Amino acid sequence: MDMKRPYIPKNNAVLFIIFAIYSLLVLFGISHHEPWRDEAHPWRWAREASIPEMVANVPNEGVPITWFVILSPFAKAGLPFETMGIIHAGIAIFAIWLLLFVNKNIPLPVKILLIFSYLLAYEYAVVQRNYVLTWALLLSVAAIYPRRFDKPVLYGMLIVLLYQANIFSLVPAGFLTVLYGFEMYRYGKFNVARFTVLTLMVAQGVFTAALLTPNPELVNWAKPQDISSQFTKVLRQSIVPSLPIDKPDIIQLPYFSQIIRIGTVICLATLIPILIHNIPLTLMALVTWGYFYYINVYVYSGYNRHHGLTLISIIFFLWMTGKHQHRDLIRRISWNIFLFVFSCLLGISWIYTGFSYVNDYRYPFSGGKDMAAFIKRNRIENWDIAAYHAYMTIDVLVYFNDRQFWYPEYQRAGSFNVIDARHKRINDALPPDVAVSLAKNAFPKSRPFLLLLDFPLPENDPEGFTLIHHSPAVYFWGKNDNFWLYANPAGLKLLRTGENINAGS
């Protein structure tokens, strides 16, 4: 692999314009995006848990701690939940800076297609999950790789963080660790500093792998049932996304998904001859793709954000393979076929990018932000609130610092790590009608309190609970994360009269 310093072009107005457009687009998207429950959980967990608690919970959640640790100082400082969006956008924008200004191997037209593709411009930029770390860290590794022996500490830190990004990063980080040791031996680069860094990388790999040995209750959480259909789904979403409900009309064509799958297979197949001159890189590609497909097909069904990490790996391998000036016929033909098909797929994904931005602007992704704003606007945030389900209503809870809801699942107030497999068992064991009955009777009837649900009560509730606000989530991704807020008779009376509004506090 190339041992030269990374190339950084200067005074390139085109690159700066592209970078500025991407940055403004992502910031616009973040400002109009309402995070859903899977985005809300890390902020709440970072705000309330210590690092030892985060580490101890990894087997129950199946998620390492890098994202939590990054968020922790900001969340613990009491900054608003919206801070997470700024952090996430900053990481995504940094990754694009690396791709534009540091990488010299990928042609500029392909870079532009990549930058505004759905996964890089929306899924890993606007939707705030830990998968942006895999994207940013792999590109950082590729950027520093030519100087990995000159800057062993920085390189080692990147690998350690990559191990703890998410379960999909485990194997790429492990392969890079093994490769570092092999190349240190092969190139005669051994010294105390590099060996110490290698030892820490190996230790982190073993530690992370041990942590990710899951709680048995987590194993079957979302395990695919039909392996054949799951494989075709993963292949379909590896480069170009698919949406489960509403879709852009222009792409609802016969055999559209089959064409995308064939194109994805062609890209993966033609990339191997391009990489083959570098045996370690070829092996890493095969092992990484095999691992990604094993997790997505056999372990966890997943969605675009999981399956799209194949695209991130392709970018990484294109960067690492060096400048694409192929002299032998097979590699030249493979490169031309890959370039054409890959560009077509990325161009198609632009349709999804535009569709996602338009709909995220027009409709709420989650009802949580609107519901929290209603509660604050009416100065009832200090009232007792019974909420159900806990794993859904976290969308609302996360907007309140030092606030807890009362949950019928646990029959007490608290703020729970609802992604924890042990808590999921409790959630699943409680019938909804029983949960609502418990919630209604959580507080004295003479005391004003609120009932927050992710489904509506029947009209003319016999116990007098009255709907005071509905926060819909009509976004194209699904109909989840809708919320209904009810007041008991004592609370409704206070709201109507406006007298002694804080009586519930």
pLDDT reported for residue 488: 92
Q: Which long-range contacts (CB under 8 A, 24 or more apart) does 496-505 make?
A: 501/378, 501/379, 501/380, 502/379, 502/382, 503/448, 504/380, 504/382, 504/383, 504/384, 504/447, 504/448, 504/449, 505/382, 505/383
How far apart CA 301 and CA 444 sit, in angstroms, is: 44
For 240, 284, 285, 383, the CA distances from 83, given in Å and listed in that order, are: 29, 36, 35, 26
Order the strands of the 449-453 sheet from edge to edge: 412-414, 405-407, 384-388, 449-453, 483-487, 466-471
Write the CB contacts of 311 (distance below 8 Å, at least 6 apart in sequence): 117, 119, 120, 238, 239
Helix residue ranges per DSSP H, 276-410? 279-294, 304-307, 309-320, 329-362, 368-377, 390-397
Residue 52: band (very low, low, confident or very high) from pLDDT cuts 50, 70, 90: very high
pLDDT reported for residue 250: 58
pLDDT reported for residue 248: 60
Both tokens assigned to 426? 């409790």
Tell which wins on pLDDT, 255 or 45: 45
Residue 499: band (very low, low, confident or very high) from pLDDT cuts 50, 70, 90: low
Taking only the tens place, the pLDDT of each residue in 118-135 is 999 999 999 999 999 999
Mean pLDDT (the chain, rounded)? 89
Taking only the tens place, the pLDDT of each residue in 166-182 is 999 999 999 999 999 99
How far apart CA 243 and CA 118 sit, in angstroms, is: 12
pLDDT reported for residue 350: 96
Taking only the tens place, the pLDDT of each residue in 324-370 is 656 788 888 999 999 999 999 999 999 999 989 998 998 888 999 99
Domain residues of the chain, as ranges?
13-362, 368-504
Taking only the tens place, the pLDDT of each residue in 470-496 is 998 865 555 578 999 999 999 998 888
Percent of the chain at pLDDT above 90?
66
